[in-house]
A and B are shown apart, each in its own frame.
Chain A
Amino acid sequence: AQSVAQPEDQVNVAEGNPLTVKCTYSVSGNPYLFWYVQYPNRGLQFLLKYITGDNLVKGSYGFEAEFNKSQTSFHLKKPSALVSDSALYFCAVRDMRGTYKYIFGTGTRLKVLA
C-alpha cells in the first residue's frame, strides 16, 4: 500500500533563512514524487517532481527537493526563505507499479516571518 507522511503540521522560519519541509513515503514499487503548494484562496500548484535520474531536483520559485531512496524521503528545501513562500505545502506519491492513484500527505503550513 502507498502512504505519505508529512510529520510537521507547521514550520516557522525567519525570512532569509533556509527552509526544509519534510516528507517520507512508502510504496511497493518505484515512486513518482511531487510537491504542490496551495496559497490562500487559490488552487494547488505544481512545484517539482522526481521521476528518475538525479536525486536533487529543482523546481519553481527556487525550491528544490532531494530524493533519498534509503530513507524513503523527499524533503522540500529552499536556501533562502521569502515571506511570500508562506503557504500550505503537500507532498504526493504515486507507485508506478499497477496504479494511477496518487496519495497526498496531510500538508505542512509554512510560515516565513519577516
Chain B
Amino acid sequence: DTGVSQDPRHKITKRGQNVTFRCDPISEHNRLYWYRQTLGQGPEFLTYFQNEAQLEKSRLLSDRFSAERPKGSFSTLEIQRTEQGDSAMYLCASSPPTGGWEQYFGPGTRLTVT
C-alpha cells in the first residue's frame, strides 16, 4: 500500500493557461474524490467517481473544470483558462469498495495562478 499519490505537487501557471493534475488512488480503491482547499478552510468537495463513473459534481465545478477517470484507476482534473481565484490546494482522496467510506488523502497539488 503506497498511499494516494498526486502529481505535480506544485504548479505555477499564468492566468488563462490550462492545467491538468493527476491522482493515483490506492490500488484496490474504486471510490475517488477531488477537493479544493484554500487557506483557513476545510476541503471543499468537487467531484466523486465510483470506478469510471462520475456520480456527483459540485456546483463549484464550473464549466472550466473537468475531471475524468477513464479506466477506473487514475484520475485527472483539468482547469481551463485559469483565474487567480483558482489558486488553492487540490486534494484527491480514495476509499475502498466496502466499509465505512473513510477517505485516504493524497498530499495535494498546490496551484498558484499569477
Residues of A within 8 A of B (CB): 4, 32, 34, 36, 42-46, 49, 51, 90, 92, 94, 99-107
List B contacts of A100 (CB < 8 A). 48, 50, 55-56
In the complex, the answer to whether B105 meets A92 with C-beta atoms within 8 Å is no
Interface residue? B25 (CB, 8 A): no
For chain B, the bracket of interface size reads 20 to 34
In the complex, the answer to whether A107 meets B42 with C-beta atoms within 8 Å is yes
What are 17 contact pairs spanning A and B, CB under 8 A?
Answer: A36-B105, A42-B107, A43-B106, A44-B43, A44-B103, A46-B104, A49-B102, A92-B42, A100-B56, A101-B56, A102-B45, A102-B103, A104-B35, A105-B42, A106-B41, A106-B42, A107-B42
Q: How far is the CA of A39 from the CA of B41 in the complex (A)?
A: 15
List A contacts of B40 (CB < 8 A). 106-107
List B contacts of A99 (CB < 8 A). 56
List A contacts of B93 (CB < 8 A). 44
Q: How far is the CA of A104 from the CA of B58 in the complex (A)?
A: 14
List A contacts of B45 (CB < 8 A). 101-103
Known contacts A90-B42, A104-B42; A34 and B56 CB within 8 A of each other: no
Question: Given known contacts A32-B100, A49-B101, A102-B103, what 18 new A-B pairs fall within 8 Å (CB)?
Answer: A4-B42, A32-B101, A34-B102, A34-B103, A43-B91, A43-B106, A44-B93, A44-B103, A44-B105, A46-B104, A49-B102, A90-B42, A90-B43, A94-B101, A100-B50, A102-B43, A105-B42, A106-B40
In the complex, the answer to whether B42 meets A43 with C-beta atoms within 8 Å is no
